[in-house]
Copies of this chain bind each other. A is one copy, B any other.
């Protein structure tokens, strides 16, 4: 079934930054023989997993995928509760929010909730972020053991923004802090000038975990407002944790310490 793995690798190349691929793109990105890439992409085309853009040689994902995200979203009660919760917080504070899941070392937004403020972070659904370099990612990583995290990053961290942990040691320290206080804050993770507040919550019965977050322009949101956002985010998350019976949940916004990265 190596062909499925290869097909999956090709699909993984797509993102909001990479919207089309040619045969040679795949060859250089994945290092597979040209003949294989050509035949595989032809087969994927025939299966509807890829489609050519017009009659060019450029490929994009098949339209089959357009409704799969919806299936993912509604397959999980946790995601739905989290989406409702973030929507409420977003609505009251006016800032944009997300529900995200971790996929290995990457984070992906599952739902977005655009803010209503004049100056708000524009939502970028479908953007992939490094887990270690984002508040959402770290809150989820903090739910794992240090050993698991080390195994995940045994090839080292790809260095992200300067404000994020640059070494595995720094990351583990940060995770310990998150385990203690339950939430995380990031600066400039998704883009310069953007801060994020994130809390993770799990559904142990289903073995699922998501991170709720609110993003805002760091320069114009003071510590009082941050505390308020954090409080309501944690309150919502706590409610979900009670429903799912998430014993590991911890989010006590005592004070906003450590605004670094």
Selecting from A44-52, A148-156, A157-165, the interface stretch reads A44-52
CA separation between A54 and B204, bound complex, in Å? Answer: 8
Selecting from A2-10, A130-138, A181-189, A253-261, the interface stretch reads A2-10
Chain B residues, CB < 8 A from A76? 53, 60
Selecting from A24-32, A83-91, A121-129, A171-179, the interface stretch reads A121-129
Q: Of B19, B49, B75, which contacts A20 at CB under 8 A?
A: B75
Q: Does A127 contact B65, Cβ atoms closer than 8 Å?
A: no
Q: Does A3 contact B5, Cβ atoms closer than 8 Å?
A: no
Is the C-beta of A11 less than 8 angstroms from some C-beta in chain B?
yes
Q: Does B74 contact A66, Cβ atoms closer than 8 Å?
A: no
Chain B residues, CB < 8 A from A53? 75-76, 206, 208
Q: A46-B1, A54-B207, A75-B60 are in contact. Are A67 and B110 (CB under 8 A)?
A: no
Q: Does A49 contact B126, Cβ atoms closer than 8 Å?
A: no
Is the C-beta of A14 less than 8 angstroms from some C-beta in chain B?
yes
Write the nearest CB–CB distance from A204 to chain B, whole angstroms: 9
Q: A63-B108, A103-B63, A207-B55 are in contact. Are A4 and B69 (CB under 8 A)?
A: no
Q: Of B5, B126, B205, which contacts A67 at CB under 8 A?
A: B126
Chain B residues, CB < 8 A from A55? 207
Write the nearest CB–CB distance from A55 to chain B, whole angstroms: 6
Q: Does A103 contact B14, Cβ atoms closer than 8 Å?
A: no
Is the C-beta of A109 less than 8 angstroms from some C-beta in chain B?
yes
Q: A4-B44, A8-B48, A47-B7 are in contact. Are A70 and B125 (CB under 8 A)?
A: yes
Is the C-beta of A233 less than 8 angstroms from some C-beta in chain B?
no
Chain B residues, CB < 8 A from A72? 19, 60-61, 63, 65-66
Chain B residues, CB < 8 A from A66? 69, 72, 101, 103, 108-110, 126
Q: Does A15 contact B65, Cβ atoms closer than 8 Å?
A: no
CA separation between A2 and B227, bound complex, in Å? Answer: 55
A-B contact pairs, 13 of them (CB 8 A): A7-B47, A8-B62, A11-B49, A14-B71, A15-B67, A19-B75, A20-B75, A48-B103, A54-B208, A60-B71, A60-B76, A65-B69, A67-B125
